[in-house]
Structure 1
Amino acid sequence: MASHPFFEGLTSPRILAHRGLVTDEMREEGIAENSVAAIAAAHAAGAEIVESDCHLTSDGVVVLFHDDNLQRVADDPRALADVTLAELEQIMSTRGGLATLAQALDAFPESRFNIDVKAAAAAVPAGEIVAPHASRVLLTSFSDKRRKTALAAARRAGGSPATSAGYSVILRLAAAVRILPLADVIRRILRGIDALQIPERSGPIRVVTERLIAAAHANGVEVHVWTVNDLDDMRRLLDMGVDGIVTDVADRALAAR
């Protein structure tokens, strides 16, 4: 299985706390996902891996935030790229506290982070920030271009984090597994990939199949499925052989594990 240091010593199956952990009680208090409070709650619940997302503020700081604007979190239409760090800190001060990528890595040294690069402008600075923490960071993005840019920046800065495939690699792999399951073709597609993080389905198409899981495992690649919040669905997927579950209810998933 996966050999990158990121995976060493982790409990199986992997439970990845999706954007940290926000319980119903925390949500009633106005705590937001990806906040310092959400990361702390995931850590307190026993989650070894926190899944988060990053954007770049207008003054060049990499922050943990999913959306490219503030509408959903703060009822503010501005784009993240148009907001300064100070402004975002003020907005998040009543929502659990803003987490920059650098601060999160420093403040939670026992946690491992699955970082999804959401903005092209964040790719290089994010890669440079995670470089000293490469053994406990898995970099990913829907965009393989962004993912590779962040990885290259990390490596130039002296670190080599783990990485999860982007959309184009997953499409090629799914087609290869379904249409022409040749071992050498699959091996080339998965070269340099440590994990596949995929939905169970994409519309009517089933993405997670036993054949895809077997192909990934044959190449030392883990399979993590997102975003799964039903415990029965988690058990069913784990019985199929997936290695990890990305979930909003990490506390419940960890208790069930």
Structure 2
Amino acid sequence: MTHPFLAGPVPRVLAHRGLVTAVAAASGIAENSLAAIAAAHAVGADIVESDCHLTADGTVVLFHDSDLSRVTGDPRRLSEVTTVELEALMRERGGLAVLADTLDAFPTVRFNLDVKADAAAEPVGRLVAPHAARVLVTSFDDARRRRALAAAEAAGGEPATSAGSSVVARAVGASAVRLRRAFGRAVAGVDALQVPVRQGPVPVVTRRLIDDAHAHGVEVHVWTINDPGEMTRLVTLGVDGIVTDRADAALHLLRRARS
């Protein structure tokens, strides 16, 4: 049975860390901020892709990096700052997105949440449980991802999930050598494979991988694609989702693919 998160037409647009246009960036708006999420929602993005970390006082926030230097110029690790301190740093950058508040503030938005820190896994699971129909939980670390899913299930929710690095590696390898049973075992329990176009010189997204995924009820989402020509190529190949920094441009392009 298809998870409710994956209801609706494909190809899907996943707004990578929200949407920050050139104009917004010039005014200081940061990725993963409330303003970036609101902008992605405003243009009609199917899904907002974001990242989860834990502050020093135990609040799950949407933030990609483990430290604050790139986004705010502060050299501290995110786990060393309190929620109040981080709110002050993000106030002029579009506003801090606290996971619990953001889920409530955007009740119709679907969220693709990448758990970036071990300490955040269980809190993320508990927080998303009431919203499980519109949340996909993932992590590059499959053990961390499974801890978040277990916490969600214990709290009464079953969010969708996409494979972490170890599961992706097994699935891609099995597909490449046409081991369909091994592929099925690899993707058991996942709803999507979220992958790059290639890993170094090795192609990852192939027609065979897409066909194998679809045969097992699994979607293929590709990151991070900003070139319209590459979007078109991937959609023609049969992918189900495009993760992009340019959700506005992608929506304009991909709406034609849905019609």
Equivalent residue in structure 2 for 1:174, among 156, 172, 175: 172
Query: What amino acid does structure 2 have at the position aligned with 1:177?
Result: S
Aligned-pair distance for 1:216?
A: 0.4
1:19-168 paired onto structure 2 within 5 Å = 19-168=17-166
For each residue in 1:76-100, what CA deviation from the matched residue of structure 2 results, as whole angstroms up to 9, or x when unmatched? 1100000000000000000000001
For each residue in 1:233-254, what CA deviation from the matched residue of structure 2 results, as whole angstroms up to 9, or x when unmatched? 0000011110010000000111
Query: What amino acid does structure 1 have at the position aligned with 2:237?
Result: M
Find the counterpart in structure 1 of residue 236 from structure 2.
Answer: 239
Query: What amino acid does structure 1 have at the position aligned with 2:2?
Result: S
For each residue in 1:137-186, what CA deviation from the matched residue of structure 2 results, as whole angstroms up to 9, or x when unmatched? 0000000011000000000000000000000001111111112x232221
Percent pairwise identity: 63
In 2: Cα distance, 1:173 partner to 1:48 partner = 26
Query: What amino acid does structure 2 have at the position aligned with 1:108?
Result: F
In 1: Cα distance, 2:193 partner to 2:180 partner = 17
Query: What amino acid does structure 2 have at the position aligned with 1:185?
Result: A
In 2: Cα distance, 1:178 partner to 1:13 partner = 24
Superposed structure 1 runs of 4+ greater than 3 Å apart? none
Equivalent residue in structure 2 for 1:255, among 235, 252, 256: 252
In 2: Cα distance, 1:48 partner to 1:185 partner = 31
Find the counterpart in structure 2 of residue 3 from structure 1.
Answer: 2
Aligned-pair distance for 1:103?
A: 1.0
In 2: Cα distance, 1:11 partner to 1:103 partner = 28
SS in 2 for 1:94: helix
Q: Say whether residues 1:223 and 2:220 are aligned partners.
A: yes
Find the counterpart in structure 1 of residue 257 from structure 2.
Answer: none
Give the structure-2-normalised TM-score: 0.97
In 2: Cα distance, 1:48 partner to 1:176 partner = 30
SS in 1 for 2:92: coil
Aligned residues: 254
Aligned-pair distance for 1:204?
A: 1.1
For each residue in 1:187-225, what CA deviation from the matched residue of structure 2 results, as whole angstroms up to 9, or x when unmatched? 111110100000001111111111111110000000000
- Structure 1 unaligned segments of length 5 or more: list them: none
SS in 2 for 1:93: helix
Give the structure-1-normalised TM-score: 0.97
Q: Say whether residues 1:214 and 2:206 are aligned partners.
A: no
Aligned-pair distance for 1:11?
A: 3.0
SS in 2 for 1:15: strand
Query: What amino acid does structure 2 have at the position aligned with 1:81?
Result: S
SS in 2 for 1:198: strand
Query: What amino acid does structure 2 have at the position aligned with 1:117?
Result: V
CA contact (8 A) 2:174 2:180 kept: no
Aligned-pair distance for 1:256?
A: 1.5
SS in 2 for 1:22: coil
